[in-house]
Structure 1
Amino acid sequence: MTRSKDSSKKRMLVHMCCGPCSIYPLKRILEESYQVVGFFYNPNIHPEEEFRKRLEAVKRLSELMALEVILFEDYRPQPFFDGVGRGEDKEARCSHCYTIRLEKTAETAKELGFDCFSSSLLYSRYQSHEFICELGSRLAEKYSIPFYYEDFRAGWRAGIEESKKMSLYRQKYCGCIFSKIERGL
C-alpha cells in the first residue's frame, strides 16, 4: 500500500542509501507535506550479500511507511568500480560514490517529472556533508531540478532507535568493499 497521491503536494524523489539512514529524513520530509517516492540506487554496496540485505531493509521500511520506492534491484557494482581504481584515495573514492548515486537520482527525478530531489546521505554523521550539499547544488543546476537540503543529522539518535524498533538490518560499514576493509570487517 502506498500513501494516497495528493496532486497539490510537491513530488520529491529521495535517494535511500539504506533503510536505517532513511527513516528520519523520510519522516521529516513527509512532515513538510511533500509527496515522497524513495529511490534505491547504490552500485557502491559490496559484496552482493550486503547489497541484498540493504535492499531488503529498504523494502521492509517502504512497507512499514507505506512508501512507494523505485528499486534498482540488480547487483551491478561496475559503475562504482569504474571510477575508483584501487580505492586508495578515500576522498576521491567517496566523491565518486556520492556523485554516481546523486546524479542518477537527479537525472531520474527530472525524467519522471518530480519537483525536487534529496538524499538520506544527509543524515549520516559519517558522510561528507559539505560535499553532498555542494554536489546537490551542482546537480540541481545541471538537471534544472531543485535539490532539497536539510541537515538531517539532528535526528541521528532518533533514527537509530527507530530502526531498532523496526528490526531493520543495520550495516556495520558504509557500503563499498574498501570501507569494509578499513573497518577491519
Structure 2
Amino acid sequence: MKILLHMCCGPCSCYPVRKLRADGHVLTGYFFNPNIHPYKEFKRRLDTAVEFAEKVGLDIAVDKNYDLRTFLRRALSAEKREETLTEKPRCRMCYAWRLHQAAIYAKENGFDAFTSTLFVSPYQLHDVMKEVAEKIAQAEKIPFFYEDFRVGWDEGVTICKELDLYRQPYCGCIFSEEERYNNRWKKENKKKMKKLREQKILMDNV
C-alpha cells in the first residue's frame, strides 16, 4: 500500500517507518506542523525530520508554513467553546487540522491511505486522534490507515539515539511548553481536570 505518513517530528517517525516498511508498505513522509512554538523549535524539528528522512532514505514533502497566529486563534476558540468535556479541546483541534491537511495531500497526490506518527506517542490523546482521523477519512473519501504504534515507543527511542537525532522535550505548541515547565500551571490544571471529570460523571449518571 502507498501510504502518506504525517510526521509530527523525526524521533516519532523512527518506529512507524521501520514497522510499516517491514509490513511491505511504500511510504512518503509529510511534515505539516504549524502548531510548534517557538519558531526556532519549529525550524529545528523540521530540519530533524528532513535529517531523519535522509538517513533512512524516505521521500518527504515539507510544508514550511509557520502559521502560529492561525493556530492560536483556533486553539483559544476551541478552549472558549468548551463544547465537550474533553480534557484538551485545543488538542482535538490541532489533531484535526494536521490530519485533515495530510488527508487532502494524500488524496490529491494519489496515495492509497494516510496515517500519522502521532499514533506512536503514549502522551497523546490516542482515541481522540483515531476518532478524528476516521471522520476526516470519511469526509475526504481517502482511507485512514490505523495502527497503534505505541507498542514500539521504546524501540523508537532507541532508533532515535542510534541515528543521533534531536529529541524534543515537549509536544510542540506554546501550551504544551507551559505544561512541561510551569509547576503552577500543573497544579491548577490538575484541579480543573478533576472538576471536569466529576462533572462528566454526574452527567453520565443523570
- 2:115 corresponds in structure 1 to 118
Partner of 1:93: 90
The CA deviation at 1:158 is 0.6
Given candidates 28, 35, 41, the residue that maps to 1:44 is 35
Return the match for 1:178 from 175, 178, 182: 175
Give, as a single letter, the amino acid of the residue that structure 1 aligns with 2:36: I
Confirm whether residue 103 of structure 1 aligns to residue 100 of structure 2. Answer: yes
**Number of paired residues?**
176
Q: Report if aligned partners of 1:14, 1:117 keep a CA contact under 8 Å in 2.
A: yes
- Give CA deviations for 1:3-50 in whole Å, capped at 9, x if unaligned: xxxxxxx21101000000011011111112111100000011010000
The Cα offsets for residues 124-166 of structure 1, whole Å up to 9 and x where unpaired, read as 0000110111111111111111111111000011101110111
- Name the SS of the counterpart of 2:181 in structure 1: coil
Which string of whole-angstrom CA distances, capped at 9 and with x for unpartnered residues, describes residues 90-135 of structure 1? 6111011101000000011011111000000000000011011111
* Corresponding residue for residue 70 of structure 2: 79
Among 128, 135, 142, which residue is 1:131 paired with? Answer: 128
Higher helix share: 2
Partner SS state of residue 151, structure 2: helix
The whole-number CA distance in structure 2 between the counterparts of 1:166 and 1:87 is: 37
Which 5+ residue runs of structure 2 have no aligned equivalent? Answer: 183-206
Instruction: Give the share of equivalent positions with the same residue, in percent.
Output: 43
Measured after TM superposition, the shift of residue 87 of structure 1 is 7.8
Contact 2:11 2:156 in 1 (8 A): yes
Give the Cα separation in 2 of the matches to 1:42 and 1:120.
12
**Structure 1 length normalisation: TM-score?**
0.91
CA distance in 2, matches of 1:73, 1:40: 8
Counterparts of 2:69 and 2:115, CA distance in 1 = 24
Structure 2 counterpart SS, 1:127:
coil
Unaligned segments of structure 1, at least 5 residues:
1-9
Match of 2:147 in 1: 150
The one-letter code sitting in structure 2 at the alignment partner of 1:11 is: K
Q: So what's the TM-score if we normalise by structure 2?
A: 0.82
Q: Residues of 2 paired with 1:87 and 1:77: CA distance? A: 15
Three-state SS of the structure 2 residue aligned to 1:83 is: helix
